[in-house]
Structure 1
Amino acid sequence: MKALIGLVVCAVALLSGCCTAGPAALSITTILQEPCTMTQGSELEGYCIDLLAEIAKKLGFKYEVHLVKDGKYGRQDESGNWLGMIGEVVRGEADLAVAALTLTATRELSVEMSTPFLQTGVGFILSRDLGSEESHFVSFLFPFSTEMWVGVLVAFLVTGLCIYLVARISPCEWADPETDEHSFTLLHSFWYITGALTLQGAGPHPKGLSGRIISAIWWVFAVVLLACYFSNFNTMLRSDTKHVSVKNFDELARQDVIDYGTVEGGTTFNFFKNSNNPTYRRIFQHMERKKSCVPSVEEGIRRAQEGNYAFIGEAASLDLAVARYCNLIRSSELIAMRGYSIAAPLGSPMMKNITVAILQLSESGELAYLQSKWWANSCMPDGGQAPQALQAHLLRGLFMLLALGCGLGLLIALLELASKARDQAKDQKKSCCSVLSAELSQRFRSGRANAGTETSEKSKA
């Protein structure tokens, strides 16, 4: 009886232990690569570690992370066996591989791959000392954008035309169109505002209130405009920003001065090896002939820092190097766009949920936050961002002030002429409108007549 009771107690204890024990922790394999996975004392940290924590929080599983034993990402040996993290997943030594694993067709055939959690491409970095300042014949136009220059030209033409019209209309400039000589022709008006724009001045100056208002507003416009131009031009001259002398892979393949290479046996190496593009084939042949490939990303970055070497790799690693080392700069061109994914054994029931969790993190902005956190640029130049051409909308208030001045000048000129027409209408006992119309017609007709008279006198002489 005692033996029976003991057996029942043992069975109850075993059953209660099975009921209270939680699910087994998942085994996660990863590899050291900044900033995806890094060591901090005895702990691991990085982009992929934070990503794994967020996915585990959403799906509710526990995990244990270990570093891959052979230190490889995942490639097949000569006998077709998988090495690295992919090999551990295939052999059942790990439930998931969370690292900067590139999603490829070969890997997709052997393991389950999630939707990419980070997009990248292939570029190259080289020493900033290999950059060269670009020189242009029209570099003096760079301080202003195209829209800004168009706005300045329109303002110049409109102001010159307004000066001309005001000088024609205002009786203060010439009281009697038949006897007085008119100084402000259309060409002279443009010459006058050109002199003001260069801060030199050109006479004669307007005598009427309307013309002086437009002139004063134009002087203010010219002074502010020149101050902005010279300030931005000086900033561009002193900028430390350099342009890479080799800007894309085609230029890299055509030159023989700068050596270049990538990590031997990696996905980038295989991309150039298997590509049918003539430029990429030339790059691969150069790397094979010169034996310029490196064993690791760290070695490639080190050689790029030493100079006269361009390291070709994935933009995620290159951007981190550029953010940390001020003497490096990355090409603007990216090719062979690819994504980093999480790997699981074939038929894994978790992969669907992991893909959904990654998409949710992307839609909520969490992935973008993690990228900005771990790829933060700690090496900004002294001058901050490269100076940009001044845009027209930044000075829209100045253009509005000029438009207001021109409109006010034209209005005052018309009021001055209307005042004179009213006095003449009283003396001649005519309607003010008829006198004003006749006065306007005489002023503009007189200019053409005077021009024809001067031409005939010159021909006789």
Structure 2
Amino acid sequence: MDKALQVAFCACTIWLLLGELHWAGATEDEDSISKDSDSVRGGGKDWPTVYVTTILEDPYVMARGTELEGYCIDLLEKLSETLHFKYKVGVVKDGKYGALSPNGSWSGMIGEVVRKEADLAVAPLTITSVREDAVDFTQPFLHTGIGILLEKESALEEASLFHFLSPFSKETWGGILAAYLISSLCLFLAARMSPCEWDGNEDGRFSFLNCLWFGAGAFTLQGVVPQPKSLSVRIVSAIWWLFSIVLLTAYIAGFSFILESGSEQLSIQTFEDLVKQRELEFGTMEGSSTLLYFKNSKNPIQQMVYESMNKKKETVFAKSYQEAIQRVLDSDYAFIGESISQDLAVARHCNLVRSPEVLGARGFGIATPKGSPWTNKLSVAILKLGESGELDYLRSKWWESSCSHDDHDKWSPLKPHALGGIFLILALGLALGMVVAVIELSKRSRHRAEQEKKSCCSVFTEEMSQRLRMREDKKQETAGKTKP
């Protein structure tokens, strides 16, 4: 009888050990890699136990000895505290996320949830319509999209012949040119109207060419002649000098930053740029939702991306995320994948960069069996964690950057609105200068009108006509002298 009890006890012990090994899901030197909530905080005795399947991917789930840690493990811990359940975590046996085979069966974590081998799948599992048909998903706990991961040296444009123009955008340079011409014209008109400046000589102190040279001299901070005498010309000159100093300071600061940081524009900004270039191969993970997205897309550019990858499917598809990152680092290769995972790679490897364009906004959710009572409870708990800032805290904790020069990539040429204030001051100063010039000419016209017993308006009109028609009269006089 005692022997029978011993045999039964041994059988039960072996059965329990096999069950635990099943949820460990992976072995490393014969040590199980798993996570048990009881070993962390000794969950409530009456709490239900939930079996969770996951996949090893940095920083979501990582193995540290025989324990698991990462973003998803921390998330699972907070969910268990909120909903009062215990959990046992095991790594998916086939190491896959989940894809539908031709015979209608599911692989990976989705397959384990469908077959009810696991109650939950907590991992960077993208919510798609095909997967939604097989399992239920909670509210997303992370939002992502599809981006392009590049190696900086191969993605940056070489400095062009006109790289010195980079501190300002094209629109800003256009505005500066317009401001220069308008200011020179205002200086010319103010000098013409001001009695203190105009001596009746067309080629005198402030001809239009001299005004252009006067404005150009201010940009180089050089002393220029002639020196203005009247108040109106001094106002126009002073406001142009102020504009030039601010502009020159902004240019020097921007150009110094470019030279020191090596900030250059990416040659591949969009997926269209990626398709058109021939220097880099590009691909994604085989059997991933990203590949399925491009396969089903009706967008012509995205169809071209899929066709190009499909033609070289033997060489451009990566079997794992780490393999893809290493290939980007080691060769002329661009990886198309989840933007949030690419952000992690950029934070960990300072010579990587992600292109600005992101396609197909979507989210990572927790998968549960169809009709599971946990789906709604977990969704509500995830929303609460988001509202309390816990999800943002976890994101900053596991995506912390090791690069010290991240701000360099955020530089961009100065747009007109960044210098809008100084352009506004220039416009007001030019307007004030012209008003003062009109007042000066009005005073002279009034004084002359009193002497000649004429109306002030007629004298003012005569003065203006004399100043603006002088060049035409001079041309006629010159033509008359050349006739035989």
Flag the 1:157–1:376 CA change in 2: closer, same or farther, 3 A.
same
In structure 2, C-alpha distance between the alignment counterparts of 1:140 and 1:251, rounded to whole Å: 24
Given candidates 282, 304, 318, the residue that maps to 2:308 is 282
Q: By how many angstroms is 1:148 displaced? A: 3.1
Q: By how many angstroms is 1:324 displaced? A: 0.6
Asked if residue 227 in structure 1 is aligned to residue 249 in structure 2, the reply is yes
The corresponding residue for 1:457 is: 477
Given candidates 263, 271, 284, the residue that maps to 1:241 is 263
Given candidates 305, 328, 336, the residue that maps to 1:304 is 328
Q: By how many angstroms is 1:286 displaced? A: 0.4
For 1:22-171, what aligned pairs fall within 5 Å after superposition? 22-40=46-64, 43-75=67-99, 80-134=104-158, 139-171=163-195
Given candidates 196, 211, 220, the residue that maps to 2:218 is 196
Flag the 1:148–1:48 CA change in 2: closer, same or farther, 3 A.
same
Flag the 1:398–1:31 CA change in 2: closer, same or farther, 3 A.
same
In structure 1, C-alpha distance between the alignment counterparts of 2:171 and 2:244, rounded to whole Å: 17
In structure 1, C-alpha distance between the alignment counterparts of 2:271 and 2:430, rounded to whole Å: 54
Flag the 1:416–1:73 CA change in 2: closer, same or farther, 3 A.
closer
Flag the 1:107–1:168 CA change in 2: closer, same or farther, 3 A.
closer
8 Å CA contact 1:130, 1:244 repeated in 2: no
Given candidates 210, 215, 232, the residue that maps to 2:232 is 210
Q: By how many angstroms is 1:350 displaced? A: 2.0
- Number of equivalences: 434
Given candidates 353, 364, 389, the residue that maps to 2:377 is 353
SS class of match (1:305): helix
The corresponding residue for 2:6 is: none
What CA RMSD, in Å, does the superposition of the two structures yield over aligned residues?
3.7
Q: By how many angstroms is 1:190 displaced? A: 3.8
The corresponding residue for 1:446 is: 466
Flag the 1:333–1:451 CA change in 2: closer, same or farther, 3 A.
closer
SS class of match (1:55): helix
TM-score w.r.t. length of structure 1:
0.78
8 Å CA contact 1:130, 1:307 repeated in 2: no
Corresponding letter in the other structure for 2:369: P
In structure 2, C-alpha distance between the alignment counterparts of 1:315 and 1:63, rounded to whole Å: 30
Corresponding letter in the other structure for 1:73: Y
TM-score w.r.t. length of structure 2:
0.75
Corresponding letter in the other structure for 2:234: R
User: Bigger shift: 247-256 or 129-138?
Assistant: 247-256
Asked if residue 385 in structure 1 is aligned to residue 405 in structure 2, the reply is no
SS class of match (1:101): coil
The corresponding residue for 1:339 is: 363
SS class of match (1:282): helix
Q: By how many angstroms is 1:144 displaced? A: 1.8
1:331-375 alpha-carbon deviations (Å, 9 max, x no partner):
444445443221111211221232233344445554444334322
In structure 2, C-alpha distance between the alignment counterparts of 1:72 and 1:79, rounded to whole Å: 17
Instruction: Note the residue ranges of structure 2 that are not aligned, 5 or more in a row.
Output: 1-43
- The percentage of aligned residue pairs carrying the same residue is 45
Corresponding letter in the other structure for 2:474: E
Q: By how many angstroms is 1:415 displaced? A: 5.1
Instruction: Note the residue ranges of structure 1 that are not aligned, 5 or more in a row.
Output: 1-19
In structure 2, C-alpha distance between the alignment counterparts of 1:169 and 1:255, rounded to whole Å: 59
In structure 1, C-alpha distance between the alignment counterparts of 2:273 and 2:422, rounded to whole Å: 44
Q: By how many angstroms is 1:56 displaced? A: 3.5
1:214-264 alpha-carbon deviations (Å, 9 max, x no partner):
223322322332232233234334442355555555565566654444434
8 Å CA contact 1:128, 1:242 repeated in 2: no
